[in-house]
Amino acid sequence: GTAKTSEELNKNAALNIERNRVFLSADGESYEIGYVAALILDRKNPDWKKNFYALKMSADELLLDNIEELPETADTELSDEVTKTIEGHNAKLSELIDDLVKAKKDTSVSYLKIDITKSTGSMYATDMINYEGEQVSVGYKNTFTVNGKTVALNDVNVYESFDDNGNQYLILPLSEPIDIKDNVLSVNNKKLSIEGVKVKTETVNGRTVYFFAVSN
């Protein structure tokens, strides 16, 4: 390069530091940390490279070697703000999944269980959370085909789960009215539409569960 002094070299090298970049890979971030650490080592100890490989340490490890860590103290104001934000979001989500909460306590509410393993469509959800150890998708939207019949979920709350064979399921409470005759289920409301799909019916822990698998 054009640098003639160590100061010019350091100045030019510093220009290559990507200060505002968000790294999408651990390798990229690790390389950048090592680059910055090497620049600092050049200033602190120009001879650091002589025994570098023998030490079997990365540049950042060498830089921080023998440096005593200072105890971290939480920023109370920031901590309170983050806690308040999380609590507010959780309270909002609690209201949004009220149907799941109530249905879980009331076994008179029927469940619909859908095997979506063969689904090829894309889903949408406003939030994905853990509720009492179960994965819940909030505001779930998707459309499936079951033996030529259409099943549409529009802004519903669902449990998502996998079995030991890797099959994926959705489970959601069924709001009345529903029509079930000769094991054919039909539902037509603003959040769930089922065009007469053949289902299997079983009772699980005192609750009626209707089950079917999607074709695609």
* pLDDT band at residue 24 using 50, 70 and 90 as cut-offs: low
Q: Give residue 6's pLDDT.
A: 67
Tell me the per-residue pLDDT of 41-52, one tens digit each, with 9 for 90 and over: 988 888 888 888
Average pLDDT over residues 163-173: 95
Helices (H), the chain: 6-14, 26-44, 52-55, 59-64, 76-96, 98-105
| Phi, psi angles (nearest 5°) of residue 101 | -60, -50
Let me know: does 138 contact 128? Beta carbons within 8 Å.
yes
Q: What is the chain's mean pLDDT, rounded?
A: 89
* pLDDT band at residue 3 using 50, 70 and 90 as cut-offs: low
Q: Give residue 52's pLDDT.
A: 87
Give the DSSP H/E element, type plus range, for residue 169: strand 168-173
Q: How many CB atoms lie within 10 A of CB 9?
A: 15
Q: Give residue 200's pLDDT.
A: 97
